[in-house]
């Protein structure tokens, strides 16, 4: 990890209302792809300063999406913050079932309470961390939106956070 610590959000030159910070909620998979592209393009000592800054900012932002502390308390014990969620897939179906009652904390007893009865012949359950990278585990937009909605609840990012709100969330 670099020791880069930005002074402010990364806003787009031509679209001042859009920022990398906002894209964490609106187009996370695109950010991951862009970062990979930039890594290839500039390596560690690329020449273009603007590209270097974007790459550094993205690297920083993606890492911050992995180490945020959830604020929402576990719906089962009400003592510990939520840490994971379940996603259930029914074979042959198009989408996953992902909902608020599938969030739980670090305790096994709470995971049990969050886990519905499933028919293992027809269904599989995935357990994922409350981290932004979990968005990327789903290929459909609809499932990604459900994950984002859980992340927003978990991190108390509901409503319409501005670029500045999000920057402060990711930098603190
Ligand atoms: Zn709990």
DSSP sequence for 5-37: --SS--B-SS-TT-BHHHHHHH-HHHHHHHHHH
What is the 114 CA–ligand 1 centroid distance (Å)?
Answer: 9
pLDDT higher than 80, residue 130: yes
Query: What does the pLDDT read at residue 120?
Result: 92
Residue whose C-alpha is closest to residue 131's, from 79, 83, 80 = 83
High-pLDDT (> 70) share of the chain, %: 96
What is the tens place of the pLDDT at every residue in 42-81?
765 556 777 888 999 999 999 999 999 999 999 999 999 9
Rounded to two decimals, the pTM is: 0.92
Pairing outcome for strands 84-90 and 96-97: antiparallel
More confidently predicted of 2 and 55: 55
pLDDT higher than 60, residue 1: no
Query: What does the pLDDT read at residue 22?
Result: 97
Q: Residue 36: how many CA atoms within 13 Å on its side-chain side?
A: 5
CA 124/CA 139 separation, integer angstroms: 17
Q: Looking at residue 4, what DSSP letter applies?
A: -
What is the 141 CA–ligand 1 centroid distance (Å)?
Answer: 29
Residues that place a CB less than 5 A from ion ligand 1: 74, 76-77, 105, 107, 110
Give me the chain's average pLDDT, please: 93
What is the 82 CA–ligand 1 centroid distance (Å)?
Answer: 7
Dihedral sign, Cα of residue 15, residue 21, residue 22, residue 25: positive
What is the 107 CA–ligand 1 centroid distance (Å)?
Answer: 6
- Report residue 92's pLDDT band, with 50, 70 and 90 as the boundaries: very high
Of the given ranges (13-27, 66-80, 141-155, 158-172), which has the lowest mean pLDDT? 13-27
What is the 162 CA–ligand 1 centroid distance (Å)?
Answer: 31
What is the 145 CA–ligand 1 centroid distance (Å)?
Answer: 24
Q: What number is the average pLDDT over the span 116-123? A: 94
Q: Looking at residue 119, what DSSP letter applies?
A: -
Neighbours of 164 (CB within 10 A): 12
What is the 106 CA–ligand 1 centroid distance (Å)?
Answer: 7
Query: What does the pLDDT read at residue 11?
Result: 93
- Which tokens go with 10? 């990364």
């Amino acid at each position: 990890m670099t020791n880069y610590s930005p002074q402010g959000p990364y806003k787009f030159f031509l679209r001042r209302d859009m920022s990398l910070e906002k894209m964490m909620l609106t187009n996370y998979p695109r950010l991951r792809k862009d970062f990979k592209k930039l890594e290839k393009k500039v390596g560690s000592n690329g020449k273009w300063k603007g590209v270097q800054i974007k790459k550094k900012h993205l690297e920083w932002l993606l890492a911050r999406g992995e180490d945020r502390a959830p604020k929402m308390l576990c719906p089962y014990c009400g003592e510990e913050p939520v840490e994971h969620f379940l996603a259930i897939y029914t074979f042959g179906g198009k989408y996953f079932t992902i909902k608020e009652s599938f969030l739980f904390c670090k305790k096994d007893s709470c995971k049990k309470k969050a886990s519905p009865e499933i028919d293992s012949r027809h269904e599989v359950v995935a357990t994922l961390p409350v981290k932004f990278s979990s968005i990327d585990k789903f290929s459909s937009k609809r499932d990604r939106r459900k994950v984002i909605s859980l992340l927003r609840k978990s991190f108390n990012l509901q409503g319409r956070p501005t670029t500045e709100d999000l920057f402060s969330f990711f930098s603190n």
